[in-house]
Amino acid sequence: YKLNNTIIYDDISVNETSSSSTYVESQPIRVFVRIRPLNKKEINEKQPIGWNYNDNSMIEDTQNGQRIYSYDHCFGPTASNQDVYDVIGKPIVLKAMEGYNGTVFTYGQTGSGKTWTMRGSESDPGMLILSIKDILDYVDQHPHMQFTLKVSYLEVYNEEINDLLGDGVSSKNLRIVSEDVSKGVVIEKLTAEIVKTTDDFMAVLAKGEASRSYAVTQMNAESSRSHTIYRVSIESKLVDKSIDLSSDISSNLFNLNHRIGYLDLVDLAGSERQKQTNTSGKTLKEGGNINKSLLALAAIISKISDISRKTLSDKSIDKNKKEHINYRDSKLTRILKPSLGGNALTSVLITVTPAAIHREETVSALKFGQMCKAIKNIIKSNDILDDIKSIKQLKQMILDLRFQLDTQTSPDKVIRRSNSYLSKVRSMTVDNTMNNTMNVDKSIDINRYEEENKRLKNIINEL
């Protein structure tokens, strides 16, 4: 498609989003590009268009010929927020509902459309609002599951973490107290609001937006002065006791007993040049800190992508040997650590303007996106092994033992498997007792199934 100097462009066709089940254990970061239309200032200045594009590439004409930057998909200037969400956001939201970690973050220069993509407007709502319907629809479509939804909303402002849902001084400059394998960094006193309805979600968003840091610059009438992370934690439990998990060994429900997923929608503040934004004083300092954290992020991604390329090209490299990556250079990189080479499904949206005057910033953003494409995350669901699940596993083991008793085949193999299960259950029972999560009834159930297991193994041994 050839871009031109008018505000109306050829429509770009958006492919149907693939099913969430297409994700695999090793998932590369998916990278997309969104081209915004020329704004009024650029039109008045009669800025020329410096780029061509097609469904999955940005094409630059240079003195040495064409330079092509390829991605998973490119959205043209007429693409709506709904188009972008259906391809990028929806698959991530659905996987988070299934107990995975999912992240979408936007990257680009200031005024390129990042916050518009995330927040949108009443007539063209952004990803933050569009995700609400899919989350609540999923809950309604799974009546046999009990869901607990919690929302947190924070910003990284001048290298300080602020709680956008908190009040007063206690919500400012929060500390990162630890890191968790499943949920990433743990931030002290961070508010987590329980939400159940659309109104609940919208109230949380409104409160967070009211606390967020904005300013007017020459590039943007409402410029974000901080990076924001909007997180939804989704805890799900199987509650319909009428579903007999042992009746279908291959059923996915057996593995969906208790899970917790995390959805992170990240709106990064844009990189800035003082001569273009014409900032001073407080706003200039904010821009400096934004650029500093973005440079730290780019350095981390460059390091991870280099490691990925070396591992692929040199088979002699020990994949189990971990190279040190300093995520602590910035609060932003520490928070995004699970999304960058960690255990999250991650999609990155690069937002750009086609105006030739911003060519240097656009090239920089496109190169950032290409580095992200080299990174692979290892995707795992966050299963919580609880007492009910241990009982179900024991019941299945008893069924297996009874089958072996009837057929009298391979008893040694079954006994080894049974011992492994029982060892895990005993260990889990001790842990759960320490955490005050096991009640007497469940302990009795486990003991009863253990005794039945022993009895059947003795019979097999005699045979």
Question: Has residue 197 got a pLDDT over 90?
Answer: yes
Looking at per-residue confidence, does 408 or 220 come out higher? 408
Tell me how many degrees the CA angle 300-302-303 measures, rounded to the nearest 5.
65
pLDDT band at 212 (very low <50, low <70, confident <90, very high): confident
Residue 199, H or E segment: helix 198-211
Give mean pLDDT, residues 231-259: 64
Nearest to 28 by CA among 84, 71, 90: 71
Question: Has residue 108 got a pLDDT over 70?
Answer: yes
Question: Has residue 455 got a pLDDT over 60?
Answer: yes
Give mean pLDDT, residues 351-373: 93
d(CA 458, CA 25): 39
- Of 61-70, 187-196, 349-358, 386-395, the one with minimum mean pLDDT is 386-395
Question: Has residue 282 got a pLDDT over 50?
Answer: yes
Q: Of 88-92, 224-228, 255-259, 422-426, which one has max mean pLDDT?
A: 88-92
Q: Are 271 and 290 in contact (CB under 8 A)?
A: yes
Place of tokens 């971990």: 322
- Amino acid at residue number 265: L
Give mean pLDDT, residues 94-111: 93
Q: What is the pLDDT of residue 252?
A: 41
Looking at per-residue confidence, does 441 or 375 come out higher? 375
Give mean pLDDT, residues 113-137: 96
d(CA 167, CA 27): 39
Q: Of 27-41, 389-403, 426-440, which one has max mean pLDDT?
A: 27-41
Looking at per-residue confidence, does 2 or 196 come out higher? 196
Residue 260, H or E segment: strand 258-267
- Of 105-114, 171-180, 390-399, the one with minimum mean pLDDT is 390-399
- Of 8-17, 38-47, 214-223, the one with minimum mean pLDDT is 8-17
pLDDT band at 13 (very low <50, low <70, confident <90, very high): very low
CB burial of 17-30 (b: ≥16 within 10 Å; e: otherwise) equals eeebeebeeebebb
pLDDT band at 111 (very low <50, low <70, confident <90, very high): confident
Give mean pLDDT, residues 44-69: 90
What is the pairing mode between strands 258-267 and 101-107?
parallel
A 10 A CB-CB count for 375 gives 22
Q: What is the pLDDT of residue 438?
A: 46
Give mean pLDDT, residues 223-247: 76
d(CA 356, CA 348): 23
Mean pLDDT of the chain: 79
Q: What is the pLDDT of residue 174?
A: 95
Give mean pLDDT, residues 308-329: 73
End-to-end CA distance of the chain: 75
d(CA 197, CA 218): 39
Looking at per-residue confidence, does 312 or 61 come out higher? 61
In whole angstroms, how large is the CA radius of gyration of the chain? 26
What is the pairing mode between strands 101-107 and 344-352?
parallel
pLDDT above 70: percentage of residues in the chain? 70
For residue 395, what are the contacts with CB-CB under 8 A and spacing of at least 6?
Answer: 245, 246, 449
Q: Are 114 and 265 in contact (CB under 8 A)?
A: no
Nearest to 287 by CA among 337, 223, 336, 375: 223
DSSP one-letter code for 148: E
pLDDT band at 14 (very low <50, low <70, confident <90, very high): very low
Q: Where are the beta strands (DSSP E) in 188-239?
A: 193-195, 214-215, 223-224, 227-238
d(CA 256, CA 248): 13
Nearest to 20 by CA among 347, 443, 321: 347
- Amino acid at residue number 301: I
pLDDT above 90: percentage of residues in the chain? 45
Q: What is the pLDDT of residue 223?
A: 57
Tell me how many degrees the CA angle 98-102-108 measures, rounded to the nearest 5.
155
Residue 451, H or E segment: helix 440-462
Question: Has residue 17 got a pLDDT over 50?
Answer: no
Q: What is the pLDDT of residue 64?
A: 85
d(CA 35, CA 58): 10
